[in-house]
Amino acid sequence: MKNPFKKKNKLYLSDKQPLTPLGVVGLGLTYLVLAIWVIAILWPLAQMIISAFNGKQEQYIMLNDNFEFSMEHFKYLFSETLYLTWVKNTLFISITTAIFTLIMVSFTGFAYSRYRFKGRKASLMAIMLIQTIPTFAGITAYFTMHSIISSIAPWFTRQLMLILIYSGGGIAGNTFILKGYIDSISSELDDAARIDGCSSMQVYRLIIMPIARPMLAIIALWSFIGPFMDYLLPRVLLTNPKSYTLAAGLFTLISDFRTLNQPAFAAGGLLTAVPIVTLFIVLQKQLVSGLASGSVKG
Amino acid sequence: MKVTLKDIGKKYEGREEFTLRNINLEIENQDFCVILGPSGCGKTTLLRMIAGLNSITEGDLLFGDKRMNKVPSKDRDIAMVFQSYALYPHMTVYDNMAFSLSMRKERKKIIHDRVMEAAELLQIKDYLYSKPSDISGGQRQRVALGRAMVRKPAVFLMDEPLSNLDAKLREHMRVELVRLHKQLGTTSIYVTHDQTEAMTMATKIVLMNDGKIQQAGVPDEFYNKPANIFVAKFIGSPTMNIIEGTIKKGKFISDDELVVITPSVSDTEKLLAYENKKVSVGIRPERFESGGEFGDTISAKIDVVEMLGKEKILHVKLDNGRELTISTPGHYTYNENEVHSFGFDIESIHFFDTESGNRIN
């Protein structure tokens, strides 16, 4: 007897039913939508990369076929602008924010997940609600806070204020995420560690933290990327171009016609991706690993 | 190490009632004590209190003659095996086992020797350097045991350690655990809801229900002399038949008057005080007599026959529909819908006071 599932001597291995003609059309449409989406994302990126290396582009980016490979825009960036200072500022703010957020979130996430205390629920709700208010809404408060603190401690620069704002926001949101993750780790591990001789701090440091590492890596990555992406706060809070972050600094290349240079802006944007991509590669192993499997019978 | 519980009570935060109260228990040195009970009876709470993971609301916990109520877990000289094993997933089997000793700043050489010794005993040497996620459930179970053993604790605590294994492996590990206990001689406290584990492994069983100890003693007593109706029903499979009735003129007559039992001479004396009072009779399924005349008999229709191989479980119905369970040897022939008369083994009948549930004879 002929096997109806056998087609051209090839076994049909998929667990899904074979496609109907209508299904084929639907699938085609799905791919079309996805393709358009991909183009919408990739085309501007491609233009940015091409313009950054195109020696034929001047001040304004023109979309045409003239292309000549050149590094002149990069040279302009390094010689004529404060690009390196901005990179340094941004890295300083990003790294400090990431470290500060990680440390604080470790404490808060662990505490909210493992301890029962008065006001636990209420404070969790408060954190949740505060999330809904945009950070920028507090801008006047930030100015006041900064002037008060810096009058007491003159070393408290506006950059430090920025770090405080970023990590403050990060701690609130990420506490939730880490709490959720730690909740999923069996508390029998804590008990076992305690019997084995750990203090609360050691339980976190030796047992919970290594297991929660994928989530901590994501939190670190997000907190690190934040200052790269944000334009508004540094633009308003930082007044001296020497203290600008990348986003604020690069914006002067397209907003102010005295310093206008669009291809240099494209080149700067391209280079901005370098530290983020580097960090991503470093954390890649942590981000994808599922360490928690196998600790308890699953 | 002798473990003594004196009037122990536990009340959880935010609860109205005490979860446990008036728990008095003595676990002798080298005992293998099994705490048995249905879910939610407080047995795990009790174990966690002994471990120091839950606080003790009232009463005293003594190890030897030292009061342990306020001593932190790590200083109690105990080791615990958890239901989920609770192996540290990011450490190798070796590191898991070495963890408690290295936390105590033991010398590397001693740690290595102890781990190897335990690994040898539990036959886990081959995968000492695997992660817990790479080994099977039974192997994880052994690692969890090994982790507890390397400490050489004074008291071994186990919280349903076999419940995650399949039936065959469980049977095997049961014997292994008994053998280990004989070898090490450590006082062990073992929590389970499985009566087979309790009956086979324990030198002492503590049966709990509703936050109270129902009976404490050796396994044999539990089966043959249950202290009350709850114990009688909990221990033994199939469950003991309980028939409610009254004592009239020294005879037991069931409420529906279908079952009449003349107690044995020794039981009759004890039942004197219960004349015209409510009494429940308990009879184990295998203690029915069949295939002849034995004094008092009941006639019953066989409803369902369960063939288990070595025995047949008969679910029979009396005339009024009351159900009884009878166990007979597997080679006897019984068919559904047949009517048979069954007698009682008079010596093995349990009498309970219906009101209090306590044993009379």
Bigger pLDDT: A69 vs A105: A105
Lowest mean pLDDT segment, chosen from A81-95, A125-139, A174-188, A215-229: A125-139
> How far is the alpha carbon of A31 from chain B, nearest alpha carbon, in Å?
38
The reply to whether residue B86 touches residue A188, judged by beta carbons under 8 angstroms, is yes
Q: Is pLDDT above 90 for B290?
A: no
Q: Give, in degrees to the nearest 5, the angle at Cα A220 between A217 and A221.
A: 85
Segment A94-107 mean pLDDT? 94
Residue ending a domain, choose from B234, B256, B272: B234
The rounded percent of chain B whose pLDDT value lies above 90 is 49
Residue ending a domain, choose from B234, B264, B292: B234
Using CA atoms, how far apart are residues A69 and A50, in angstroms rounded to an integer?
A: 9
Q: Which of A129-138, A256-265, B55-64 has the highest mean pLDDT?
A: B55-64
Q: Is pLDDT above 90 for B163?
A: no
Q: Phi/psi class of residue B32: alpha, beta or left (left: φ > 0; alpha: ψ in -120 to 50)?
A: beta
Band (pLDDT 50/70/90 cuts) for residue A77 is: confident
Is residue A86 within 8 Å of A251, Cβ to Cβ? no
Using CA atoms, how far apart are residues A118 and A129, in angstroms rounded to an integer?
A: 19
Report pLDDT digits (tens) over B113-150: 999 999 988 888 999 999 998 898 889 988 998 999 89
> Does B68 reside within a domain?
yes
* Claim to verify: residue B151 and residue B272 sit in the same structural domain: no
Nearest to A195 among B79, B88, B90 (CB): B79
* Claim to verify: residue B229 and residue B249 sit in the same structural domain: no
Q: Which CATH superfamily is domain A82-258 in?
A: MetI-like (1.10.3720.10)
Provide DSSP, A237-260: H--SGGG--HHHHHHHHHH-TTS-
The reply to whether residue B82 touches residue A191, judged by beta carbons under 8 angstroms, is yes
Nearest to A197 among B80, B86, B103 (CB): B103
* Claim to verify: residue B153 and residue B302 sit in the same structural domain: no
Q: Is pLDDT above 90 for A91?
A: yes
Segment A209-213 mean pLDDT? 89
The reply to whether residue A195 touches residue B73, judged by beta carbons under 8 angstroms, is yes
Q: Is pLDDT above 70 for B53?
A: yes
Nearest CA in chain A to B84: A296
> How far is the alpha carbon of B73 from chain A, nearest alpha carbon, in Å?
5
Nearest CA in chain A to B134: A294
Q: What is the CATH number of the domain that holds B279?
A: 2.40.50.140
Nearest CA in chain B to A188: B86
Nearest CA in chain A to B161: A297
Lowest mean pLDDT segment, chosen from A56-70, A71-85, B258-272, B298-312: A56-70
| Chain A, chain B: beta-carbon pairs less than 8 Å apart | 79
* Claim to verify: residue B254 and residue B200 sit in the same structural domain: no
The reply to whether residue A293 touches residue B88, judged by beta carbons under 8 angstroms, is no
Segment A211-221 mean pLDDT? 88
* Claim to verify: residue B80 and residue B114 sit in the same structural domain: yes
Please name which of A47, A49, A66 lies closest in space to residue A57, comparing C-alpha atoms. Answer: A66
> Does B226 reside within a domain?
yes
CA distances from A120 to A177, A203, B111 (A): 16, 21, 41
The reply to whether residue B88 touches residue A291, judged by beta carbons under 8 angstroms, is no
**Helices A139-152 and A158-183, axial angle in degrees (round to 10):** 110
Residue ending a domain, choose from B205, B234, B263: B234
Nearest to B89 among A116, A202, A291 (CB): A291
Segment B270-274 mean pLDDT? 87
Largest CA distance in chain A: 92
Q: Is pLDDT above 80 for A183?
A: yes
pLDDT at A12: 82
Residues of A with a Cβ under 8 Å from any B Cβ are 116, 186, 188-189, 191-198, 202, 207, 210-211, 291-297
The b-or-e profile of A31-57 (16+ CB within 10 A means b, else e) is eeeeeeeeeeeeeeeeebebbbbbeeb
Report pLDDT digits (tens) over B293-325: 567 788 889 999 999 988 999 999 988 888 999
> How far is the alpha carbon of A105 from chain B, nearest alpha carbon, in Å?
21
The reply to whether residue B82 touches residue A211, judged by beta carbons under 8 angstroms, is no
> How far is the alpha carbon of B121 from chain A, nearest alpha carbon, in Å?
21
Q: What is the dihedral of CA B124, B129, B134, B136, to 10 degrees?
A: 10
Q: Is pLDDT above 50 for A219?
A: yes
pLDDT at B236: 87
The reply to whether residue A294 touches residue B89, judged by beta carbons under 8 angstroms, is yes
Q: Is pLDDT above 90 for A192?
A: yes
Q: Is pLDDT above 60 for A111?
A: yes
pLDDT at A68: 81
Which residues on neighbouring strands pair with residue B325, listed in sequence order? Answer: B315
pLDDT at A286: 75
Which pairing describes strands B350-353 and B278-283: parallel, antiparallel, or unpaired? antiparallel
Report pLDDT digits (tens) over B71-122: 999 899 999 999 888 999 989 999 999 999 999 998 999 999 999 999 988 8
The reply to whether residue A297 touches residue B140, judged by beta carbons under 8 angstroms, is yes
> How far is the alpha carbon of A202 from chain B, nearest alpha carbon, in Å?
10
pLDDT at A9: 66
Count of domains observed in chain B: 2
The rounded percent of chain A whose pLDDT value lies above 90 is 31
**Best residue in B85, B150, B159, B165 to probe A by mutation, most A CBs within 10 Å?**
B85
Residues of B with a Cβ under 8 Å from any A Cβ are 13, 48, 51-53, 72-74, 78-80, 82-90, 99-100, 103-104, 131-134, 137, 140, 147, 164
The reply to whether residue A196 touches residue B74, judged by beta carbons under 8 angstroms, is yes
> Does B358 reside within a domain?
no
> How far is the alpha carbon of B142 from chain A, nearest alpha carbon, in Å?
13
The reply to whether residue B80 touches residue A116, judged by beta carbons under 8 angstroms, is no
pLDDT at A93: 94
Average pLDDT score, chain B: 89
Average pLDDT score, chain A: 86
* Claim to verify: residue B85 and residue B151 sit in the same structural domain: yes
Lowest mean pLDDT segment, chosen from A256-265, A273-282, B166-175: A256-265
pLDDT at A292: 43
> How far is the alpha carbon of B234 from chain A, nearest alpha carbon, in Å?
28
> How far is the alpha carbon of B82 from chain A, nearest alpha carbon, in Å?
7
> Does B219 reside within a domain?
yes
Using CA atoms, how far apart are residues B333 and A94, in angstroms rounded to an integer?
A: 83
Residue B85, domain extent? 3-234
> Does B361 reside within a domain?
no
* Claim to verify: residue B80 and residue B189 sit in the same structural domain: yes
Please name which of B34, B20, B302 lies closest in space to residue B193, comparing C-alpha atoms. Answer: B34
Chain A environment of B87 (Cβ under 8 Å): 294-296
pTM of the model: 0.80
Chain A environment of B97 (Cβ under 8 Å): none
Segment A190-206 mean pLDDT? 92
The reply to whether residue A198 touches residue B83, judged by beta carbons under 8 angstroms, is no
* Claim to verify: residue B204 and residue B306 sit in the same structural domain: no
